[in-house]
């Protein structure tokens, strides 16, 4: 049996006496080297950068051990002043110089590791969202997870094709349009923090009775670009959140208070309508979810734009795009040129402009607002859906599509315009009001405005 008195004893129980002697010699040399840093430093000019790094490390270690007992720290204002005596003094300026780098590293580390729920908690700590609003945003994320699963399996479970009905705009509803609308509505109702919801698929806004607090107003398009579902092309959901009106006075308002069927609305329905018909500049939060090769949630709470990708292994959205910024300009235009004949002359001239020159613009058009806008957010350029002879104000809805997307664009450094003015300044007079939209890089939108002026 081995004992510590054995001449060949070692911690692993397998070292021979000869090997142990070699270890002892190495230990002695290491001790000698550790206590003679000055000699190591004098050899740096001849032995290269490797020994220089070793000498610096040894010197720093000794300096810290010598002065650790005499270092004191005190707060001055918002910063921290450090004073050290003896060798190796550490100044406050050194700590300040490290801060930007550490912040950048922290932001980089958050990408791919921070979940949407954790991000919301941090936004709440910053005062960007309230607890009630965080609950609403989480309920929207839950609805989008369910819709994402349905979109993926639509072709296998008979959810493609028409539902046999038309929505309030006279458009044929797809089966997933109806299902997605039900999912969105139920999630928002059950969260207990929503007072009014308005859907593109519903005739009028709905006041929710089972709310507990918050009373937020949520306008949403449950499934944008649903005509692409059967072809497996990207589709998406769009939402915008308003703060509730403290005073809901119907008198003197120019808002349409009759349903599309011509029936009079009761007081609660009129108040719900009034809650929703507000300019986009009043939005607290807006965002979209794109269902494509991956499911991506992009949103803003008024402090920059952030993107989250759904990780199906953990069932949660994870931060993947930190502080998105639209490039100031971009050589990509996204228009449905099949409608060119009915456009204004100024817009026709713009179409000639983007095709002329040595480096003409590239044309990219999916036919899904979410997909086209997401590409524009990342690569720059401009997306447009103008009015024409048939539809003077275009086909995009102000509350459900134009206002939320324009709010996102401006938060990312871009611009949203009708060609004549800012989209976010328009006060809706009808809950399903339409408006032309030109959105994307600031310089590109301004070029279109010049052609249309």
Lowest mean pLDDT among 100-104, 254-258, 425-429, 440-444: 254-258
Cα gap 29→37, rounded to integer Å: 13
Query: What is the predicted pLDDT for the residue at 65?
Result: 43
Query: What is the predicted pLDDT for the residue at 117?
Result: 95
H-helix or E-strand spanning residue 80 = strand 79-83
Which residue, among 399, 396, 404, 390, has the nearest Cα to 429 in the 3D structure? 399
Query: What is the predicted pLDDT for the residue at 75?
Result: 41
- Band of the pLDDT at 160, cuts 50, 70, 90? low
Per-residue pLDDT reduced to its tens digit, 275-328: 678 899 999 999 999 999 999 999 999 999 999 999 999 999 999 999 999 999
Q: Which residues pair with 126 in a beta bridge?
A: none
Q: What is the pTM of this model?
A: 0.73
Do 286 and 403 meet the contact criterion of CB atoms below 8 Å apart?
A: yes
Q: Residue 257 pLDDT more than 90?
A: no
Cα gap 283→276, rounded to integer Å: 11
Which residue, among 128, 133, 298, 131, has the nearest Cα to 217 in the 3D structure? 133
Query: What is the predicted pLDDT for the residue at 416?
Result: 97
Token readout for 189 is 């109702």
Do 414 and 300 meet the contact criterion of CB atoms below 8 Å apart?
A: no
Q: What mean pLDDT do residues 418-423 have? A: 95
Do 183 and 194 meet the contact criterion of CB atoms below 8 Å apart?
A: no
Cα gap 103→95, rounded to integer Å: 12
Q: Tell which wins on pLDDT, 324 or 40.
A: 324
- Band of the pLDDT at 258, cuts 50, 70, 90? very low
């Amino acid at each position: 049996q081995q004992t510590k008195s054995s001449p060949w004893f070692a911690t692993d129980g397998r070292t021979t006496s000869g090997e142990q002697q070699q270890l002892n010699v190495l230990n002695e040399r290491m001790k000698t080297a550790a206590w003679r840093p000055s000699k190591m430093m004098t050899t740096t000019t001849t032995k290269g950068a490797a020994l220089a790094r070793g000498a610096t490390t040894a010197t720093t270690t000794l300096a810290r051990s010598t002065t650790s007992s005499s270092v004191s720290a005190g707060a001055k204002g918002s910063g921290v002043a450090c004073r050290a005596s003896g060798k190796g003094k550490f100044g406050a300026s050194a700590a300040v110089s490290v801060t930007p780098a550490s912040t950048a590293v922290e932001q980089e580390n958050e990408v791919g590791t921070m979940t949407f729920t954790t991000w919301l908690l941090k936004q709440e700590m910053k005062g960007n969202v309230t607890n009630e609003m965080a609950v609403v945003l989480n309920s929207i994320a839950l609805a989008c997870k369910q819709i994402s699963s349905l979109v993926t399996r639509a072709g296998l479970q008979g959810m493609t094709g028409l539902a046999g009905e038309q929505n309030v705009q006279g458009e044929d509803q797809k089966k997933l349009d109806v299902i997605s609308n039900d999912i969105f509505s139920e999630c928002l109702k059950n969260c207990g923090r929503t007072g009014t919801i308005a859907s593109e698929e519903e005739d009028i806004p709905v006041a929710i009775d089972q709310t507990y607090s918050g009373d937020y107003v949520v306008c949403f398009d449950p499934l944008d670009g649903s005509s692409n579902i059967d072809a497996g092309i990207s589709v998406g959901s769009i939402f915008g959140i308003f703060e509730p009106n403290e005073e809901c006075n119907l008198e003197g308002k120019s808002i349409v208070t009759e349903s599309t069927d011509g029936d009079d609305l009761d007081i609660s329905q009129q108040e719900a309508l009034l809650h929703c018909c507000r300019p986009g500049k009043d939005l607290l939060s807006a965002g979209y979810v794109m269902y494509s090769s991956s499911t991506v949630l992009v949103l803003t709470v008024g402090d920059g734009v952030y993107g989250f990708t759904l990780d199906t292994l953990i069932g949660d959205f994870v931060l993947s795009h930190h502080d998105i910024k639209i490039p100031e300009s971009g050589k990509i235009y996204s228009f449905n040129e099949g409608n060119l004949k009915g456009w204004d002359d100024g817009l026709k001239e713009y179409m000639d402009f983007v095709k002329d020159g040595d480096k003409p613009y590239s044309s990219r058009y999916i036919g899904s607002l979410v997909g086209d806008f997401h590409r524009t957010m990342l690569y720059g350029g401009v997306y447009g859906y103008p009015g024409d002879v048939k539809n003077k104000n275009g086909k995009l809805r102000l509350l459900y599509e134009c206002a939320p997307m324009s709010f996102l664009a401006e938060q990312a450094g871009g611009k949203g315009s009708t060609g004549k003015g800012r989209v976010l300044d328009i006060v809706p007079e009808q809950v399903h009001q339409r408006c032309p939209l030109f959105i994307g890089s600031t310089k590109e939108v301004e070029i279109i405005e010049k052609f249309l002026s």
